[in-house]
Amino acid sequence: MQQNTLKLRIKKLYRFILQSFMPLMAVMFSVCLFVMLMQFLWKYVDEMVGKGVDIKLLAKLFFYAGNMLIPMCLPLAILLASMMTFGNLGERFELLAIKAAGISLAKIMKPVMIAVMFVAAANFIFQDTALPVAQAKVGTILMSLKQKSPEIDVPEQTFYKELPGYNIYVEKKTKNGRLQNVIIYSYAQGNENDATVIVADSGYLKISSDKTYNLFVLYNGESFKNLKKRTSGRKDELIPYVREKFEYKEITVNFDSNFTLIDESFMAGRDVGKNMKTLKMSVDSMSAVEDSIKNALAQNIKQQTFENIPKNSKNVIKTDSTANQENTSILSPSRPVEMRLKLLEAAKSIAARKVNGFSSRMFEQSNMKKQLRGHKIEMHRRCATAVACILFFFIGAPLGAIIGKGGLGFPTVISVFIFILYYTIDTFGFKLAKQGVWEVWQGMWLSPFVLLVIGAILTQRAINDFMIDAENIKHLIKFLKKPFAIQ
């Protein structure tokens, strides 16, 4: 009976801890996702602004970008939520009361640990199913935005050069879109020295209904154009020209403003657009291709170096002591100079062809290695990100129990610092793996290994009831401030 009562109480305790952790994780995940999306917007705002892109396309971009950022937000949300949950338990002395009842910290962490493992598994499944689609969609939209020409927005008192073959100056723009004191330099013929210069008092800029060309409507101006190029360097050379005055003039400028998405198969065929099964198949096939290229290159070098020696080379260059080597050599001074020069040029040409052949094969091998590393990096990244969810819990929960502070203050600062450390180490390992300095698994599992060490130390300290007193923290901060104090 007493045993059943104890189990019931432990179940209620587990339910209470999960009810404290899960809402916090949901809130922290939403906050992290919002911050990451704002960072994404800040990074690519130049590609979106001024292109006249439909709001539906931008909403689609942000939807897939949010899906792409979910695997990165989950570890940080787990770190924040676990630290705040156990910090709140310590701050309200609930953790102390639970320990006094004979329940260890490891047992208290058990329900949250199981929940985090399910979240980590869901994170991995999400990365294997939805993430490749999101990354392919985001990559396709961003590449299409980069290729799209910006909408024409001529600034005031500045030469606008975004239109190919034109340089436009506007002194002032009114609210209704009227341009005042317009100067247009047209280089449609491709020669800046023979530009057509158009000056007008005012005008408008219109876009055709199909957005394939722009129309300049100009009022009260004149144009100037040379009829032929200058044939000599004389400054006094007379060149015929055309000068035209007009009250109304229209200039048509070809400028396609329509937005078209590129083929999504391009991004779907890259490493970011493949699931784990496809990535593994690609790695196996690429490894086989790389081995074949390597063997072919080695065999080619061997043949060209050792096996391509003429069979009658002994008749060309004799090594017998009785033979006159100088007279039998193909570069012997007894031969005519023209013949020796032709032989040297022929040898140089053959060597250049061989070097070019070797260089192209080596470039092909290097490109294949780069693609192979990219696929391996994507495979290890997805596994490492899922494992990071669990490791962040074993950092956040013990740290919250040790500090004994909840809320959004001190735990948030510590969590952000730990996540920045993780992100920095992860970026460092990723670059070393991408450049081939380290093996892929070494670079991509460097940050999880660091998290494992930190989590093991913190968990061991928390289980042994190691506590950080608030007064000790204040004394430590004062001690650290002393060297920087103003005398």
Report the domain count for the chain. 2
Residue 28 covered by a domain: yes
Maximum CA pair distance of the chain?
A: 117
Residue 18 covered by a domain: yes
Residues 205 and 94 in one domain: no
- 0.75 exceeded by the pTM? no
Residues 100 and 37 in one domain: yes
Note down the domain range covering 116: 2-148+378-484
Of the three residues 226, 254, 282, the one that is the final residue of a domain is: 254
Rounded Cα gap, residues 396 and 84, in angstroms: 8
Residues 128 and 224 in one domain: no
Residue 67 covered by a domain: yes
pLDDT digits (tens, 9 = 90+) for 158-207: 887 767 677 888 888 887 778 888 888 877 665 555 678 888 888 877 76
Residues 181 and 135 in one domain: no
User: What pLDDT does residue 321 have?
Assistant: 44
Residues 126 and 30 in one domain: yes
Residues 137 and 51 in one domain: yes
Of the three residues 225, 254, 283, the one that is the final residue of a domain is: 254
Of the three residues 254, 289, 310, the one that is the final residue of a domain is: 254
Residues 141 and 11 in one domain: yes
Residue 442 covered by a domain: yes
Per-residue pLDDT tens listing for the chain (487 residues):
556 666 677 788 888 888 888 999 999 999 999 999 998 888 888 777 656 677 888 888 899 999 999 999 999 999 999 988 888 888 888 777 887 777 888 888 888 899 999 999 999 999 988 898 888 888 888 877 776 655 566 778 788 776 767 788 888 888 777 888 888 887 766 555 567 888 888 887 776 666 666 777 888 888 877 666 655 555 555 666 677 888 888 877 766 555 566 667 767 777 788 888 888 888 888 888 777 777 776 676 666 655 444 444 444 444 444 444 444 456 666 777 777 777 778 877 777 777 776 676 777 777 778 888 888 898 999 999 999 999 999 998 888 888 877 677 777 788 888 888 998 999 999 999 888 888 888 999 999 999 999 888 888 888 877 665 555 556 545 654 555 454 4
Residues 138 and 22 in one domain: yes
Residue 453 covered by a domain: yes
Residue 66 covered by a domain: yes
Report residue 378: phi and psi, to 5°: -65, -40
Residues 125 and 180 in one domain: no
Residues 41 and 90 in one domain: yes
Residues 91 and 188 in one domain: no
Residues 106 and 243 in one domain: no
Residue 285 covered by a domain: no
Residue 240 covered by a domain: yes
